[in-house]
Amino acid sequence: MGIVQAPGCCEFRFYEELNDFLPPDRRRRTFRHTVDGTPSVKDRIESLGVPHTEVDLILVDGEPVGFDRLLRGGERVAVYPVFERFDLTGVSPLRPRPLRVPRFVADVHLGRLASLLRLLGFDCRYDNSSTDEALAAVSAAEARTVLTRDVGLLRRSAVTRGAFVHATDPRLQLREILDRFDLRGRVEPFTRCARCNGALTPVDRAAVTVPDAVAARHTRFTRCDGCGQVYWPGSHVERLRRRLAEVGITM
């Protein structure tokens, strides 16, 4: 007959935006949490409401540990968010390597965010018919960060890179992603197709078919290598610049 281990208590402290996933009485403070048996630290973190994809460093009694570290009670656990702008190589054992050239896949509710990221030159896959299983598979196969407002998707074990998007306005969502992944210095506007995510290549006027009025006003054109869509610097560019400037994004 096995021996039933009595439950123990650990002390947890979550830092920065990880507190957004916690109830108000547990935010920005150390709190005690009862553990039964010897659960993994990943299991306990997610049971408290924080998706594992939001975590980049865990310290147990001051030492960095992996998600599989078992808790027995009495430990002090400090949990830190993803630090894409800092190099934690050699410190955090949670990821094989830092994400230095971010690529994204957005869930079905973030189509406008996906388009804005593409307009700024970032690789972001999006399909408005994708299932959670498909998003997780694309993330794993192509080392893409899942962008979502669905905590349940981020808790899937197949998803190792993910970001919960807090804002609801697409422009504020864009600012949030640019800041979180330190992307402002990487912006290359109008180098990627907003429709299909393909790369844009400059083409001669003679190589494209556009309305006569457009041809009379413009000499610079690009074409998507994927879907063939033709682009030119029309009035929509200035409108987009103004709208993004309203939330502090310059391009």
- In eight-state DSSP terms, residue 8 is E
Q: How many helices, marked H, and strands, marked E, lie in the chain?
A: 7, 12
Q: What does the pLDDT profile of the chain (251 residues) look like in tens digits?
A: 444 444 689 999 999 889 999 999 999 999 999 998 999 999 999 999 999 999 989 999 999 999 999 999 999 999 998 764 444 455 555 555 444 568 999 999 999 999 999 999 999 999 999 999 999 999 999 989 999 999 999 999 889 889 999 999 999 999 999 988 888 888 999 999 999 999 999 999 888 888 888 888 888 899 999 999 999 887 778 888 888 888 788 77
| Within-domain flag for 94 | no
CATH of the domain at 50: 3.10.20.30
Note whether 177 and 204 are same-domain residues: no
* DSSP bridge partners of 16: none
| Within-domain flag for 98 | no
Q: Which residue segment(s) compose the domain that 55 sits in?
A: 8-81
| Tally of structural domains, the chain | 3
Nearest CA to 18 out of 64, 85, 80, 96 is that of 80
Please state, in angstroms and rounded to a whole number, the distance separating the CA atoms of residues 55 and 108: 23
Q: pTM, whole model, 2 decimals?
A: 0.75
| Within-domain flag for 88 | no
Note whether 77 and 43 are same-domain residues: yes
Note whether 182 and 118 are same-domain residues: yes
Encoding tokens for residue 109?
């509710």
Give the H or E element holding residue 178: helix 170-180
Contacts (Cβ under 8 Å, ≥6 apart) of 86: none
Note whether 212 and 179 are same-domain residues: no
| Within-domain flag for 168 | yes
